[in-house]
Amino acid sequence: KPGALAARPVTDEMDRGPAATRRGAVLFAAILLVTGPRFVDLDSVARLYAEPFRLLPDPMDRYLHASVSSTFVGHFLGAWSPRRAQALALAVAALAVAAVLAYGHRAIADPEERWTFFRLLALSPLLHLLVFWLGKSDPYLIAPYFVLLLARGPAVAAVLALAMTLAHPEQATVILGAHAVLHRPARGVALAYVGGWVVGIGVEQLYLTQLGMTGSPRALWIAQWGELLVRNNLARPATMLWLSFVWFWIPVLVYVRSRRAGTALALGGLCFAVAAFSADFTRVFTLLALPLTVHVARALARDGGGALAPWLARLLPLAFLQMELALGRAWDNGWAVLLARALGIVVRW
């Protein structure tokens, strides 16, 4: 029948849509499995979750108080021991990966374009940092951002901007600003971002005041150690440059070559300069540059991968070989860290 014949291609397209997302989920899960888990700050965050209104005893750890959302989620879920904090870290990392997949599934209708987007995104260090820094507040920042990319109304945008700010005020400021520059939202939505950010900063400062702290604990930490951090990062400038985007430099260079990319380059330079003052350079740069990474991956995916189209399948193994720069050293695999510690080898950080 003509009607049945006309409907069949639509059904086939709909059938292939979930398949592309499932392929993305399998790819992401494989990358996470190969990378292996690495937990950080577990004792400190468990103590913080147990007593959120008591200052951490070690002044070096007090910047953790600035991540308000993860602190109170951990408190209300009872993650008051290192083992429970570990389980919570794994759960929220999985939720962040699910948010990335949900964004691709909802925002990109064409299944081939979606699969291309997932493969391009896999070349970035995003998945590596999610499993390599378990215990940090990164998932509480990443998940709301990918949901923000799907948001349509100002009220939802404001709530998500608030959630990002409560996760990490300093990084949320850069991410929201970069997102606004790249996407040029309507005035009402832009004001919603600002409103959510302002409320988030206010809540954070109110919480810190209850603890007897003022200003930004992270800014104070950077002011104390900033010179040493920059010297550590700049000791290997070529490595620092490469380990910003890592393998995602390949899509970035293709994007820059085929488009007017002055704005994107300026944003990348800003993220690079800010991340230079961090101890974990690649992690911070990847988070700050998240809007730029998604923007580049989406643009190339719309073109079927652009000049990378014939090479995407060959480039994909690189997604399993990510590295990060932290404390002036290159780090690669969480399983290696776990093995070293199991053998009694001291691995700092």
Kindly report, residue by residue over 198-250, the tens digit of the pLDDT. 999 999 999 999 999 988 888 777 777 777 777 777 777 888 999 999 999 99
Kindly report, residue by residue over 131-165, the tens digit of the pLDDT. 999 999 999 999 999 999 999 899 999 999 999 99
Cα dihedral value 70, 73, 75, 79, nearest 10: -90
For residue 289, is pLDDT > 80?
yes
Model pTM score: 0.91
Contacting residues for 343 by C-beta, under 8 A, at least 6 apart: none
Strand (E) positions, 202-328? 324-326
Decide which of 253 and 345 is more confident. Answer: 253
Q: Could you tell me which of 177, 158, 172 has the C-alpha nearest to residue 70?
A: 172
Alpha-carbon gap, residue 62 to 55, rounded angstroms: 7
Contact call for residues 295 and 264 (beta carbons, < 8 A): yes
Q: Which long-range contacts (CB under 8 A, 24 or more apart) does 261-264 make?
A: 263/181, 263/182, 264/182, 264/292, 264/295, 264/296
